[in-house]
Amino acid sequence: MTENTGNETVLVTGASGKTGRQVAHAAGAAGFDVRAASRGGAVRFDWYDSSLWDEALRGADAAYLAYMPDIGAPGADDTIGAFARRALELGMRRLVLLSARGEVQAEPAELALRESGAEWTIVRATWFMQNLSEGLLLDGMRGGELVFPAGEVPAPFVDTRDIADVVVTALTDASYAGRTLEVTGARLLSFREAVAEISAAAGREIRYVPVSAKEYGGMLAEFGMPPEEVACMQEIFESLLDGHIEHPTDVVQQVLGRAPRDFTDFAREHAAQGVWKV
């Protein structure tokens, strides 16, 4: 991974999230002055509150953009475009956007960044390994089952630490400006196979229970997710989990000069940490 030698400041949005936390760590290790921004952090940031943007942006040289709740959500394109233009007005030069591989709903937001005038890189990632070790799905996994609308479709799961290393390389290496990088793991696993690997590593039975996107949307609503977000997520699951993104890429190898982290190693590492204990 290329190191930053100019004491530059990088703004990391969503710095408490799955990828933002890893990007902040990797950027710090690469020599950046990291400005970690989130709704509840020392640097406050909210995509839905533009009054917070200027304070987060001023004096920063580059930014990592992780849009919440999803890059394909309605209005994400307008917000990303407005943020990028404001960043340029305040002197920022580099923006790296996290997008979702194969998610057609993400295309408007990607286009908004490309047309903003910024020096951009788009990192399209496939399913995170860490979706199974933290966040919304973890409680179910600890309870002994993963209920998810993925059927038996395989995916090249990627470790968020690999995403972070690619992002930081894109921030430091100008040759990645104006490029879209599709980041995946090297091996295909269905969600059933992934859960089986975690079950073996954790030494306890965890079942995979496939459901329809509509059924899963109902579950999200029961968890308290707003109706408009439920509708967005249901549409994404219906269109994304159909097998059209099942092939791996070699982007991690090309960008970082090493193989991506393997799912088996991820499962063993996190099981040793007690992530899936009851």
pLDDT bin (cut points 50, 70, 90) of residue 4 is low
pLDDT of residue 24: 98
Sequence length of the chain is: 278
pLDDT of residue 94: 97
Does residue 5 have a pLDDT over 90? no
Tokens of 89: 């007005």
Task: State the chain's mean pLDDT as an integer.
Answer: 95
Question: What CA–CA distance (Å, rounded) separates 44 from 32?
Answer: 19
Tally of CB atoms within 10 A around 29: 14
Question: What CA–CA distance (Å, rounded) separates 164 from 173?
Answer: 14
What's the mean pLDDT in 1-10? Answer: 74
pLDDT of residue 262: 98
- 8 A C-beta contact, residue 154 and residue 228: no
pLDDT bin (cut points 50, 70, 90) of residue 58 is very high
Predicted TM-score (pTM) of this structure:
0.95
Question: What CA–CA distance (Å, rounded) separates 21 from 146?
Answer: 24
pLDDT of residue 237: 85
pLDDT of residue 108: 98
pLDDT of residue 223: 85
Tokens of 85: 């233009």
Does residue 11 have a pLDDT over 80? yes
pLDDT of residue 1: 59
- Residue 49 burial (C-beta neighbours within 10 Å; 0-12, 13-18, 19+): exposed
pLDDT of residue 278: 86
Percent of the chain past pLDDT 70, that is, above it, reads 97
pLDDT of residue 260: 98
